[in-house]
Amino acid sequence: MTFQPHGKHLVAGEWVAGDATFQTDPASGPSHTVYSGAPELINRACEAAEEAFWTYGYASRAKRAAFLRAIADEIEARGEEITDIGSRESGLPAARLEGERGRTTGQLRMFADHIEAGDYLDRRHDVALPDRAPLPRPDLKMVQRPIGPVAVFGASNFPLAFSTAGGDTAAALAAGCPVVVKGHPAHPGTAEIVAEAIAAAIASQGVHPGTFSMVHDGGNETGAALVLHPLITAVGFTGSLRGGRALFDLCAQRPDPIPFFGELGSVNPMFVLPHAVAARGDALGAGWAGSLSMGAGQFCTNPGVAVVIDGPEADVFVSAASAGLETVGAQTMLTEGIARAYRTGRDRVQASAGVREVLTSTCDLRNATPYLFETTGQAWLADHTLGEEVFGPLGIVVRVQDAAEMEAIARSLVGQLTCTLHMDGDDTPLARRLMPVLERKAGRVLANGFPTGVEVCDSMVHGGPYPASTNFGATSVGSLSIRRFLRPVCYQNMPDDLLPEDLLSADQG
């Protein structure tokens, strides 16, 4: 079955066209016409979201959980069509999209279970002490409450799991916040069919239609209008540092600044410690090559840098990585723009002083092929641009003189999504020196693994200090991500009849 997109916006339950249009640029098959958004559409969507908040934001957790599960069911009912249009638009293989669809529905159901359990509410109660001297204490209760309409930007590299019904949308809806999605222009057809699934769930569950809207746009005007709209209370974004920083600045410049939860990118450095590289340098190099080239390197957790102490063991590691990458053929990138940016990043690294080519290749058009470079610790420390993300299958080996220089490299890092230690037992003393540094630099620290692949669970942190993300206290993956769209409210001496139901009973659903 082939899904034929109509290119319209979903605004408060209605499919709406417009005047301006843009054409899609699919990896395969014919392009289609999509209507461009406009500020007036954003205003309609945001006003509908605000109206919906007065019912949806105060609905029971059981009702919101049923809605999330209904969205998951509707997405699964369209599974083959979603895979087909997603593959045509993005060039991602069917197996990857099927796995991503499972992650998307899994996130929705995880949040349904999470809000039913109620732990996220962080309920607290300090009973009144009327006889306390010298001053009495009032009765104080606290609970987390939804903040209002949320804007979500679809991501280019995850058409499902970080887009229309992805993690940001699932977390916001779970919290009780209506969502307005700005679809990504790289895969508007995929966004459209997922929006249809959400609309079907809204109808079946009797949810206010303003609870979810989605607007397309091929440029920047609609996105800017969305983050500047006075009814939007927070923004979720996954994308480039440049685009995310522009939106972050807009959020900060509003008359009423709002939080911008942006996941912007990272080089995800690996520190390959001496005993580990001596014992299994070839296996580590081969494993790095597989992780680095997975999905054409288009993962935000792609490990683009490996730091290793120079010597024969480092030679083995680099040779194994090069041999592994050499077998990787050209892969289709998500968009031509991403492919151009990859080549620009390659050229920047290639031209940097002190950088040597280990493996070079030729890529053009929308294709990516692997590249491997190496440099010294001294050259790395002298050129901060080597620490900037190159989105694609490009790796840099940093050969350091000793453990002290390895620690200096760690201290020089900007914020990262992940940092990895490859170590054996005898590497523990050096690992202990590095750990305080790495946990300050990254949201997730790994031992003896590769960071590609982010588990959706309670303990996951997908975020980190800037520029990995714009809010180091938040995560965009896992159940903790719901906290971005909540705020604590304290109730003092409040009669039970006026309290939220979630405060009246610890097991209230």
509: pLDDT strictly greater than 60: no
Average pLDDT over residues 161-169: 97
Known catalytic residue at 490: no
Question: Which residue is it, tokens 């620290």?
Answer: 445
Comparing CA positions, the residue from 235, 239, 246 lying closest to residue 158 is 239
Spatial CB neighbours of 229, under 8 Å, sequence gap ≥ 6: 42, 43, 46, 151
Side-chain half-sphere exposure of 387, counting CA atoms within 13 A: 20
Helix (H) or strand (E) segment spanning residue 260 = strand 260-263
pLDDT surpasses 60 at 148: yes
Q: How far apart are CA 437 and CA 453, in angstroms?
A: 23
User: Is the pLDDT score of 459 beyond 90?
Assistant: yes
CA–CA gap between residue 504 and residue 509 (Å, rounded): 11
CA 360 to chain centre: 30
364 CB-near residues (< 8 Å, 6+ apart): 343
Q: Is 300 a catalytic residue?
A: yes
Question: Looking at residue 322, what is its pLDDT?
Answer: 97
> Residues 492-506: pLDDT tens digits?
999 999 999 999 865
The CA distance from 449 to 263, in Å, is 22
> What tokens were used for 434?
């590095």
181/413 Cα distance (integer angstroms): 33
Number of H helices, E strands in the chain: 15, 21
324: left (phi over 0), alpha (psi -120 to 50) or beta: alpha
Q: Provide the pLDDT for residue 1.
A: 63
Quick one: residue 170, left, alpha or beta (phi over 0 = left, psi -120 to 50 = alpha)? alpha
Judge whether residue 14 has pLDDT over 70. Answer: yes
Chain segment 364-384, per-residue pLDDT in tens: 789 999 999 999 999 999 999
Among 51, 192, 263, 313, which one carries the catalytic annotation?
263
| DSSP assignment letter at 58 | T
Round to whole Å and give the CA distance between 330 and 116.
Answer: 46
DSSP 164-209: TTSHHHHHHHHHT--EEEE--TT-HHHHHHHHHHHHHHHHHHT--G
Catalytic residue of the set 177, 251, 300, 419: 300
Smallest Cα–Cα separation from 334: which of 100, 112, 494, 109?
100
Please give the Cα distance from 327 to 285 (Å, whole number): 14
Segment 236-247 shows an average pLDDT of: 94
pLDDT band at 189 (very low <50, low <70, confident <90, very high): very high
What is the rounded distance in angstroms from the CA atom of residue 381 to the CA atom of residue 280? 27
If we measure between CA atoms, which residue out of 365, 392, 37 comes closest to residue 191? 37
The answer to whether residue 3 scores a pLDDT higher than 70 is yes
- Parallel, antiparallel or unpaired: strands 486-492 and 124-126: unpaired
H or E segment and range at residue 326: helix 312-326
pLDDT band at 363 (very low <50, low <70, confident <90, very high): confident
Per-residue pLDDT tens for 41-75?
Answer: 999 999 999 999 999 999 999 999 999 999 999 99
List, in sequence order, every beta strand (DSSP E) within 302-415. 305-309, 331-332, 356-359, 367-368, 371-376, 394-400
| Local confidence band at 115 (pLDDT 50, 70, 90 cut-offs) | very high
The pLDDT of residue 265 is 84
For 309-345, what is each residue's pLDDT tens digit?
999 999 999 999 999 999 999 999 999 999 999 999 9
Q: What is the pLDDT, as a whole number, of residue 508?
A: 41
Checking if the pLDDT of 507 tops 50, the result is no
Mean pLDDT for the chain?
A: 96
Nearest residue to 456 via CA among 61, 152, 113, 150: 113
